[in-house]
Structure 1
């Protein structure tokens, strides 16, 4: 007696059904990436806040724009800097180009490395997602 593993015509495997469903709809991989300093998570949200502070030159303006209280954002930043062991931000009193709050060189370098890491993780997730769900 011979047992055939061939499927009847028109019957798809689970993987083929998933691939067909994924092609028919807009499906994509979505991952969360964190760098963890002593139980303090650093991810896209904190990266965006640091960018906002750096571009505006002001923690209070960044807090208002992001919908956070100044106190909450300030605590968030202190917690991050304490856990990371270095300062992300340089705070200078006064108005004009010399005043305000900007990223330190260490903070800027960390953000650059985080983004490079994040991009690599996104690319790997997309590649594996396509292999798992979109290829027959």
Structure 2
């Protein structure tokens, strides 16, 4: 699963992928740039290897800037905070009989979450 959190609204954009290679990551990034045309995008990332060595893609998408969180500081990346919310509020204690069922469950949660989404307030 790839996900992005729109900081201004608190809404989640998510997609499922069988793998998490660079090609799937860049496909997700292409969908984000299409969802926010003509906008400057600042993308906070962890240090997953697929997030690195994407200079050619970034050259073709000058409106996108990647920012990497320090190792062991995932709490600085708000989508990682959301992944924790997803785990605690939706996935913990559940079981699924198929990957399709899991995806449908996550999609339903994302839709319900987005209906009430608000930006995170740091205290």
TM-score between the two structures when normalised by the length of structure 2: 0.30
TM-score (norm: length of structure 1): 0.28
